Amino acid sequence: MPDARVLRRDLLAWWTLHGRHGIPWKLRSDGGVPRDGEPLCPFRIWVAEVMLQQTQLAVMRPYWERWMLAFPDVVALAEASQHEVLLQWQGLGYYSRARRLHRSAGLLAAHGWPRDLEGWQALPGIGRSTAGSILSSAFDRPFPILDGNVRRVLARLLAWPQPPQRALAFFWRCSQELLDPLRPRAFNQALMDLGATVCTPRQPRCGACPWQSHCAAYAAGDPTRFPVKDTPPPLPFQVIGVGVVLDGAGRVLIDQRLEEGLLGGLWEFPGGKQESGESIHDTIHRELREELAIEVEVGEELIRLEHAYSHKRLRFIVHLCRWLEGEPQPLASQQVRWVEPQRLAEFPFPAANARIIAALQTWLGRQCHGGHAGQELPPA
């Protein structure tokens, strides 16, 4: 490891000129830059740090700004309904983060803001790096961080020959050793900014890096070889048959997922995984019978789309369906509802459903324009 004091000095000098100083949750309430040691609003930082898990800053920032308007403090979040919380989160993905924020808000409103790692890590979804980032950002406490950007910077600095995940204890020691104990907030932010803006995954700007002369990966001639990665296993692929079920009054049937899983608590159009040798029509018939106890006539294909999660790839094949018989029952969900299509925006849906809703609205618009509003769906 190069001299930590030299690395700190060079990084903070670079950050003073080139860092991201306008991040709103890292500023005082009046928009000013905090002095070293000055506390900041932990609520704003906590929400931002959770949103930044699995999401880039540029993508999450507008969500954070809307969230702060809806829930300006921890009490407002604790008192909100889960429906309101999920609706504000809609489109950001990994919805378990929103549910954890909501659960934690009640604890924090009652017991106050933790000042140590153990207190933060006791909250659901908060790991060591997130806890360290909150403590250093909100309270200027000397806790190291080790997010993806930091792992990449350190792996290149050392030209580490193995995937960092195999040596996490060592990388934590490096982050702790480098941390400036007098300016932990500034140093951690500088380290993240270096990874986000200079030491990027594919096209690092080595000529702009304050650590270029210390970097073993740069000296080796190809920084993009680091960090070394394990070969990921191929993502499993599934085809999902989805039924957009309409009744005689033009209402559409939706159901609310159970609480567990990444998409727990969200609303969706019913359906499920296609089994081997099964036609998509048969899949939709079977899934709606098993999950909702209804019989439908499967009509024309409305849309098909691909969606990738971190753990699997899905192809949704969506058909319009006419409800025939059976009172819908939530056999595999929390609840089911018949709703007017224009009210779908009032319910939080997974991101993949946005295109389904848009396709449905387009189809309904064509029916109205052609003078067929209220007619039954065409037969399959």
DSSP state string for 319-338: EEEEEEE-----SSSSEEEE
The CA distances from residue 170 to 142, 202, 273, 317, 324, in Å, are 18, 25, 43, 47, 62
Query: What pLDDT score was predicted for residue 185?
Result: 98
Catalytic residue among 38, 49, 325, 376: 49
Q: Which residues pair with 221 in a beta bridge?
A: none
Long-range CB contacts for residues 160-163, cutoff 8 Å, separation at least 24:
160/226, 160/227, 160/228, 161/228, 162/228, 163/227, 163/228, 163/229, 163/230
Query: What pLDDT score was predicted for residue 370?
Result: 67
Q: What is the pTM of this model?
A: 0.83
Positive/negative CA dihedral, 217, 219, 225, 229: negative
Going by their DSSP bridges, the two strands 237-246 and 313-325 should be labelled as parallel
Per-block mean pLDDT, blocks of 10 residues, the chain (380 long): 94 97 93 94 98 93 97 98 94 90 96 96 96 98 97 98 96 98 98 97 97 97 95 92 96 94 90 96 97 96 92 95 96 96 94 93 87 48
132 and 117 Cβ atoms separated by less than 8 Å: yes
Query: What pLDDT score was predicted for residue 114?
Result: 96
Positive/negative CA dihedral, 161, 130, 137, 47: positive
Give CA–CA dist 228/163, Å, rounded: 5
Query: What pLDDT score was predicted for residue 34?
Result: 94
Give CA–CA dist 20/320, Å, rounded: 48
Hey, what amino acid is at 61?
R
Domains defined along the chain, listed by start: 4-225 (1.10.340.30), 237-369 (3.90.79.10)
49 is catalytic: yes
Cis previous bond, 144, omega within 30: no
Query: What pLDDT score was predicted for residue 376?
Result: 52
